[in-house]
Amino acid sequence: MGNCYTVGPNEALVVSGGCCGSDQKTYTVGGWAWAWWLLTDIQKITLEIMTLQPKCEDVETAEGVALTVTGVAQVKVMTDKELLSLACEQFLGKSVIEIKGVVLQTLEGHLRSILGTLTVEQIYQDRDQFASLVREVAAPDVGRMGIEILSFTIKDVYDKVDYLSSLGKTQTAAVQRDADIGVAEAERDAGIREAECKKEMMDVKFLADTKMADSKRELEMQKASFNQEVNAKKAEAQLAYELQAAKEQQKIRLEEIEIEVVQRKKQITIEEKEIVRTDKELIATVKRPAEAEAYKMQQLAEGQKVKKVLTAQAEAEKIRRIGEAEAASIEAVGKAEAEKMRMKAEAYQQYGEAAKTALVLEALPKIAGKVSAPLARTNEIVILSGEGSRVTGEVNRAQ
């Protein structure tokens, strides 16, 4: 049995050993590999870039000047199978710091040896060439370790005896001298050239002024001709503009009149609708309530009329009945009196005509009182015609 191991693209997986004492080694970069338990060994080596800063202090050059040089190198383990196996043989099981230390010492040794073969000017003035030389010399040695130099540059070069400063001062003085000479010669040439340019400028200016005067005269003549034509065209254009403006104004006025007519029609329509609305509103708010009130009053009057008619009819019926009752009573009384008088007459027949007359005169007041008694209790008499009208009279009973 075994396990499956994986590594990223910045590492290499080394599987060594196997069954039956095999010494086979498998190198896997950014992938996976199978390893048997107890029979194989699993190790990893980094493939990342390593930054080194080789520094050589007080190294004498070919001229015997002690310099201190600092460089920057970028190195990494190569992924080619043969070179990777060399790197694994050299550095497998070591840390990144240990690998950096080995490569750094190698680079510093080559840097020191090359410094002894060059002059200060070669080192200081052409740093790129110096760095390339170091890289070319050191590359085979570190390559046999499976290491690749990606880049190498010189970071700083200085000395403790101000040799480089003196070179700079000498060069600066020479440059300053050449600059002063160059400035003087340039000023001289500039003065000569300036005079020549001024002469040429005056000649050109004279010719230009002459041509300018001729051109100005021709220009004025052309301007006069153009102005005449322009004024004529302007007058024509002004007349045409005024005519067109009058036509446009007339069109605008016609449009305004049409708009006013349309607006007036709309206003009349609105006013007619307002009149109709007002009529409907008056009908709804005044006429209908008035008609309803009139109908109500009519109905109330008809009710009062019917009430009074019925009341009058009831009173008349009451009076009639009372009259009939009293008449019957009077008739009965009269009959009784008449019978009494008849009996009296029969009794008094023997007394003659004088006795009869005295008897009649005695009975008349009583009969008149009986007849007038119902009329004395009547306050109102209603006479009804065939059309339903009535005439009311008030009869006051004497107290």
More confident residue, 201 or 27: 201
b/e per residue 167-201 (b: at least 16 CB within 10 A): eeeeeeeeeeeeeeeeeeeeeeeeeeeeeeeeeee
Q: What is the pLDDT of residue 251?
A: 85
Per-residue pLDDT at 229 exceeds 70: yes
Least confident of 29-38, 105-114, 212-221, 242-251: 29-38
Whole-structure pTM value: 0.39
Does residue 97 surpass a pLDDT of 80?
A: yes
Residue keyed to tokens 């309803």: 292
Residue 360 pLDDT level (bands cut at 50, 70, 90): low
Q: Give the mean model confidence (pLDDT) for residues 161-185.
A: 68
397 pLDDT band (50/70/90 cuts)? very low
In angstroms, the CA 115 to CA 128 distance is 14
Query: With 50 as the cut, is the pLDDT of residue 188 above it?
Result: yes
3 state SS for the chain: CEEEEECCCCEEEEEEECHHHCCCEEEEECCEEEEECCCEEEEEEECCCEEECCEEEEEECCCCCEEEEEEEEEEEECCCHHHHHHHHHHHCCCCHHHHHHHHHHHHHHHHHHHHCCCCHHHHHHCHHHHHHHHHHHHHHHHHCCCEEEEEEEEEEEECCCCHHHHHHHHHHHHHHHHHHHHHHHHHHHHHHHHHHHHHHHHHHHHHHHHHHHHHHHHHHHHHHHHHHHHHHHHHHHHHHHHHHHHHHHHHHHHHHHHHHHHHHHHHHHHHHHHHHHHHHHHHHHHHHHHHHHHHHHHHHHHHHHHHHHHHHHHHHHHHHHHHHHHHHHHHHHHHHHHHHHHHHHHHHHHHCHHHHHHHHHHHHHHHHHHHHHHHHCCCEEEEECCCCCEEEEECCCCC
Q: Is the pLDDT higher at 286 or at 83?
A: 83
Whether 18 has a pLDDT exceeding 70, the answer reads no
Mean pLDDT computed over every residue of the chain: 76
User: Is the model more confident about 189 or about 25?
Assistant: 189
Q: Encode pLDDT of 124-168 as tens digits.
A: 777 788 888 888 888 888 888 888 888 888 888 877 777 666 665
The pLDDT of residue 170 is: 64
pLDDT of residue 327: 73
Q: Phi and psi dihedrals of 396, rounded to 5?
A: -95, 125
Alpha carbon of residue 378 to chain centroid: 97
